[in-house]
Structure 1
Amino acid sequence: MEAKIILEQNLAKILDHNQFCSFATVEGNRPKQRYMALYNQGLSIHLVTDRKTHKVEELEENPHVSLLLGYEIGGSREVVEIEGTCKVTAEDSLRKQIWKEEFKKRFTGPDDPDYVLLEITPVRVEYTGKDGEKHEWIE
């Protein structure tokens, strides 16, 4: 059990050092990928999006997602692959907590009804450390 806690702490540190991720959904039977800004507190992972985007529809059809992060410029150089499920949330306290002034380019404020968060629930995480060693976390 202690090894899992240490692994979770290491994963949280890696997530903290990565501002972006590649986010994959399933559209029909095909994967669809895009880069998105990543917000996390520990293994609690959120992405910001507009309620009117196509990805919201995709998630209603199939909530299974994948995230890839760590190797883009400015990333931690530790590659992290996250498999999980995703739901759209408009929880007020969370939206206010994550809100950034830069979002005003797309939304009127944290109360904008189109400003929603994608909440990722990891079920499996695999990461490769800087030393090339692979680790796996399973919920």
Structure 2
Amino acid sequence: MERHPICSFGTVEGNRPKVRYMKLYNDGLTVYLATDRKTHKVDELKSNPNVHLLFGQEKEVVAIEGTGKVNDDETVRKKLWNREFEHWFSGPDDPDYVVLVIEPSRIEFSDRDMNLEVWEA
């Protein structure tokens, strides 16, 4: 995940998929996405926590299915905080700054030869 800092992040809005690009952070297999608490992503996760992430490039592609939740815990927000976020938030204590935490249930990895490996929780 460290080699691919941008992912497509899919949620469910109503009964339709909704996808957007986001900056990806991780700690092991747990994925973190920083966002504003007022975005549709937050509402979508509260209604339906099922998510999908896709990242990589032609040599390797990773798809992650999992569940997401909104985390506004001070420890998590400070751990993830970086100066790039200053474009949107006043600091790690900004009340609108939250972290989406994604716990994978299935990961598919394809290498450049299209060999597929699957991990399931």
Give the TM interval when normalised to the shorter protein. Answer: over 0.9
Q: Normalized per residue, which structure has more helix?
A: 1
Alpha-carbon distance in structure 1 between the residues aligned to 2:18 and 2:79: 28
Match of 2:10 in 1: 24
Q: Which amino acid aligns with 1:17?
A: R
Paired residue type of 1:138: E
Hey, what does 1:78 align to over in structure 2? Answer: 60
Aligned to 2:102, which of 115, 120, 138?
A: 120
Question: Aligned pair 1:47/2:33, yes or no?
Answer: yes
Tell me which residue corresponds to 1:35: 21
Q: What residue number does 2:47 align with?
A: 61
> What do you get for the CA RMSD once the two structures are aligned?
1.1
Alpha-carbon distance in 2 for matches of 1:77, 1:111: 39
Gaps of at least 5 residues in structure 2 are none
Which residue of 37, 62, 72 corresponds with 1:90?
A: 72
The amino acid across from 1:105 in the alignment is H
Structure 2 distance, partners of 1:43, 1:16, is 11
Which amino acid in structure 2 is aligned with residue 44 of structure 1?
T
Q: Secondary structure at the match of 1:23?
A: strand
Structure 1 residue ranges, 4+ long, deviating more than 6 angstroms after superposition? none
Deviation at 1:44, TM superposition (A): 1.4
User: Bigger shift: 109-118 or 122-131?
Assistant: 122-131
Number of aligned residue pairs:
121
Q: Residue 104 of structure 1 aligns with which residue?
A: 86
Unaligned segments of structure 1, at least 5 residues: 1-14
Considering fraction of residues, name the structure with more strand: 2
